[in-house]
Structure 1
Amino acid sequence: MVNRAKPYILTVGLQFGMAGTYLFTMASLNHGMSRLVFIVYRNAIAALALAPFALIFERKVRPKMTWTVFIQILVLGFLEPVVDQGFTFLGMEYTSASFASAVMNAVPSVTFMLAVILRLELVNMKEIRSQAKVMGTLVTFAGALLMTLYKGPQFDLFHHPKTTPHQGGVHSHQNQSHSHWVTGTLFICLGCLAWSSFYILQSITVKRYPAELSLSSLICLMGALQSAVVALIADHNPRAWAIGFDYTLYGPLYTVIMSSGIAYYIQGLVMQSRGPVFVTSFNPLCMIIVTALGSLLLGEHLYLGSIIGGIIIAVGLYAVVWGKGKDYGGDASPSATTTKETETLQLPISSPINK
């Protein structure tokens, strides 16, 4: 009984941990930390954390570096840390952590769409699994579009000092707030597209450079260097780089420990017995946790459009996950996966340097 419950307990616990990455990031930004500096520190710490393991465990299997692979690593470092994290954090500042976590559920659907366009994923509309993946993708986009265009009435799950409405100029403030909401949503969607593109290119690069730890550490390093250049150009204030024993340290440190350490271990442990689709199917739970804790701890507002859109996106995600699960022939165990299947694009679980 304990063994049967273990994958569920670990996966639910993982979603609580991943929800913390959104909350710690938002708290760091709310406390005045530059999002560009946050990205630099986060990826630099991740590179330092992964490098020793890559040197020890992959010293005999690490292939030679080629110019093609090096350029792909540069592009990966730009897509994920610079574009994805940069625009997602910017959109999060305009909206909320719960909103960003909801939109990011669309990543598997966007990845599937890009894979179809690039012929990395085959679609046969005569098969139910292909129909489910296509319909799930369309439903996901409908949910994201609804969240962009419709905000709706405001709800506050918990009373918080930050939820006090602004005084004066209510109408103009609402118009400005709606404008920021749409802008923030577009930024998050751009980050979502960059993250999906990252998965596509990563699936190609890892075949040429089959050393996952080394590849991840190099991507983090390149991302940190490129992010540092962007941060130095965009923010000329030296004080923005200061770190203290507060969210400027806790935020980047927690996200790295969670996404590059604990998440790796738990995902690997669960996927040994249940496969990647099982882990992915719990992703919407992270959105629910972020929504509740964001309202309680950060005083974030909740809107009807976000609730409806988040539910629609979750339904679309499950359709894509179900269709992708059928690619395993109905068996979630890795042993049931054929050689051909392991070479095709898999659903993204989480980025080694992101959510």
Structure 2
Amino acid sequence: MGCRGGKGAMYRRFKPHLLMVLGQFGYTFLYFITEASFKHGMNPFVYVTYRHFVGGVVMFPFAYFLEKKIRPKLTLALFLEIFVLSLLGLEGLDGSIRGIAKIGGTLVSLTGVMVMTLYKGPVLRNLGGALIHFQGSTTIHENWIKGSILTVSSCITWALWYIMQAITLKKYPAQLSLTTWMSFVGGAQSAVFTACVVHKPKAWTVGFNIDLWSIIYGGVVVSGLIVFIQLWCTEEKGPVFVTMFNPLATILVAVLAYFVLGEKLHTGSIIGGVIVIIGLYLLLWGKEGDHADKIKSQDLSSLSREEPKEGTQDKSIHLGGGDNLKRSLEV
């Protein structure tokens, strides 16, 4: 019993870590299946639109029935908050060793990502041919300045999205419903944008091929399941914990692309990957202090509720005796 209880406690403790790692594997596979779809001719804007709507449709019945009793009322202000994603909040840090570790781990991981992005270094010799070949081709326009600006903008909006989730969950603590709303609203926004930039009706046509499978996978697994996992982990551990796992997908993509697709792997990617893992470990070690403090406060709170106040038991006995005496006198 003790062994089982220990394993159960260990599982509950590291459940968010496991879920986030699995989520990064899901993002990694998304990269490969969407690359195959884009090379097949799928329009990226149309893909995003369909993916969001598929995620919303799949998550809707779960959200409606499972959270029917706990789902708060969606006010206009809250809907606008979901729509614009404009609120900003930061996770609290302190001056303790673990607090410094959280800051240091974040900076170290950021350094690792920058190394992987900006420093290439010598190319590693390919151990063999590609195991998978994608048919078709995509036109690549190399523009370092434009690409860098778009990449930085993407990182900023991605970070704001995570922070906004933590804020919204405090007002709307229904992860399934929030996932559904984000999917439908995101799909509507993407549809409007796509209609403005894509003018060929043929681009919206999807056949029974890799395009359809990539949309289903992206909608069900990524826009649905993984977003729900991220919301749950955000509520449990905070937005910093969730975002720190994102570099793992970059490492996994680089390694799998090297072994599976036969793409080039630079030493800079390996060095950056090692730095990212070190930073992630530092951050998680710092976050464990928050977990310990939370458990400690919960234990103290439960003890304060269970322990009777001094004199309460004697007083109740005395009153009970008085009541009995009163009844006997009445009789």
Q: TM exceeds 0.5? A: yes
Q: Is the counterpart of residue 222 in structure 1 residue 185 in structure 2?
A: yes
Report deviation, 1:28.
1.8
**Equivalent pair of 1:40/1:225 in contact (CA under 8 Å):** yes
Query: 1:192 is matched by which residue type in structure 2?
Result: C
Q: Which stretches in structure 1 are left out of the alignment for 5+ residues?
A: 80-113, 164-175, 340-355
Task: Give the alignment's Cα RMSD to 1 decimal.
Answer: 4.1
TM-score by length of 2: 0.69
Deviations 1:188-214 (CA, angstroms, capped at 9, x unpaired): 332222121111111111222222211
Deviations 1:242-291 (CA, angstroms, capped at 9, x unpaired): 111222111121123323565579889999xx989999887665444433
Corresponding residue to 2:72 among 63, 68, 84: 63
What is aligned with 1:109? none
Change (3 A) 1:326 1:336: farther
What is aligned with 1:124? 94
Tell me how far apart the structure 2 counterparts of residues 180 and 146 of structure 1 sit (CA, whole Å): 19
Q: Is the counterpart of residue 144 in structure 1 residue 110 in structure 2?
A: no
Deviations 1:275-328 (CA, angstroms, capped at 9, x unpaired): 899998876654444333323444432222222222222222222222122111
Q: Percent identity?
A: 39
Deviations 1:116-175 (CA, angstroms, capped at 9, x unpaired): xx4x322223x0111111112222232233334322233345423999xxxxxxxxxxxx
What is aligned with 1:50? 59
**Equivalent pair of 2:51/2:223 in contact (CA under 8 Å):** no
TM-score by length of 1: 0.65
**Equivalent pair of 2:56/2:224 in contact (CA under 8 Å):** no
**Equivalent pair of 2:54/2:220 in contact (CA under 8 Å):** no
Tell me how far apart the structure 2 counterparts of residues 261 and 292 of structure 1 sit (CA, whole Å): 26
**Equivalent pair of 2:251/2:273 in contact (CA under 8 Å):** no
2:50 aligned counterpart, secondary structure: helix
Change (3 A) 1:14 1:134: closer
**Equivalent pair of 2:82/2:182 in contact (CA under 8 Å):** yes
Tell me how far apart the structure 2 counterparts of residues 232 and 269 of structure 1 sit (CA, whole Å): 33
**Equivalent pair of 2:28/2:252 in contact (CA under 8 Å):** yes
Equivalent residues, number: 284
Q: Is the counterpart of residue 306 in structure 1 residue 269 in structure 2?
A: yes
Tell me how far apart the structure 2 counterparts of residues 40 and 192 of structure 1 sit (CA, whole Å): 20
Tell me how far apart the structure 1 counterparts of residues 222 and 131 of structure 2 sit (CA, whole Å): 31
Report deviation, 1:186.
4.4
Report deviation, 1:330.
7.0
Change (3 A) 1:263 1:157: farther
Report deviation, 1:30.
2.5
1:154 aligned counterpart, secondary structure: coil
Tell me how far apart the structure 1 counterparts of residues 163 and 171 of structure 2 sit (CA, whole Å): 14
2:187 aligned counterpart, secondary structure: helix
Q: Which stretches in structure 2 are left out of the alignment for 5+ residues?
A: 134-139, 303-331
What is aligned with 1:351? none
**Equivalent pair of 2:179/2:228 in contact (CA under 8 Å):** no
Tell me how far apart the structure 1 counterparts of residues 77 and 161 of structure 2 sit (CA, whole Å): 16
